[in-house]
């Protein structure tokens, strides 16, 4: 049986501010249901993704900004960074892990610039939404077998 991740709920403090941010970042607005004072559901989808994120009111008891290490994959990390910055999104410089591994918390072991060999899975940029929910873009051109 296939299981696909469909939706991820992220906590935000200001729904309209979050909605404006994600639309500015190029996410597609799928829905904005203002059901009552206690329940509002906004769904946005990253460009090219089958998985969406949902935020709003009455959806999560987690603190705004508490979701970290969200990953979006891109085929050209430099072009993706340029696109986000051209949209007015504050994005880190391109970086890679010194050991050629997955990134570490707190920016430890980061080296400026893309992976020298441009190896798949090894180059990143990071950004946060207005509440501090943390995102990474990860460059993957050729997926590892079975992925």
Q: For 13-37, what is each residue's pLDDT tens digit?
A: 999 999 999 999 999 999 999 999 9
Whether residue 18 is found in the same domain as residue 87: no
Q: In angstroms, rounded to a whole number, what is the distance separating the alpha carbons of residues 12 and 129? A: 9
Whether residue 74 is found in the same domain as residue 130: yes
Residues 6+ apart with CB under 8 A from 112: 93, 94, 95
The residue to which tokens 């509440």 are assigned:
131
Provide the domain count of the chain: 2
The rounded mean pLDDT for the chain is 94
Does the reported pTM lie above 0.85?
yes
- Cβ atoms of 45 and 39 within 8 Å: the answer is no
- Considering only residues 105 and 43, tell me which one the structure prediction assigns the higher pLDDT: 43
* pLDDT at residue 140 in the model: 94
> Which two three-digit tokens encode residue 43?
């769904």
Last residue of a domain, one of 60, 86, 105: 60
Last residue of a domain, one of 60, 76, 96: 60
Whether residue 100 is found in the same domain as residue 138: yes
Last residue of a domain, one of 60, 83, 106: 60
Q: In angstroms, rounded to a whole number, what is the distance separating the alpha carbons of residues 20 and 27? A: 10
Whether residue 77 is found in the same domain as residue 49: no
Whether residue 4 is found in the same domain as residue 38: yes
pLDDT for 146 beyond 80 = no
User: Domain containing 10: what range?
Assistant: 1-60
pLDDT tens digits for range 66-98? 999 999 999 999 999 999 999 999 999 999 998
Whether residue 54 is found in the same domain as residue 78: no
């Amino acid at each position: 049986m296939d299981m696909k991740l469909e939706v991820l709920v992220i906590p935000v403090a200001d729904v309209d501010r979050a909605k404006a941010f994600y639309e500015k970042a190029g996410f597609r607005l799928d829905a904005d249901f203002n059901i009552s004072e206690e329940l509002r559901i906004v769904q946005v989808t990253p460009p090219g993704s089958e998985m969406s994120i949902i935020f709003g009111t009455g959806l999560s008891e987690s603190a705004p900004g508490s979701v970290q290490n969200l990953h979006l994959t891109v085929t050209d990390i430099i072009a993706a960074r340029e696109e986000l910055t051209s949209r007015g999104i504050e994005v880190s410089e391109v970086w890679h892990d010194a050991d050629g591994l997955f990134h570490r918390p707190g920016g430890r072991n980061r080296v400026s610039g893309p992976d020298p060999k441009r190896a798949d899975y090894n180059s990143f940029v990071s950004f946060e939404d207005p509440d501090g929910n943390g995102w990474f873009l990860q460059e993957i051109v050729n997926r590892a077998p079975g992925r």
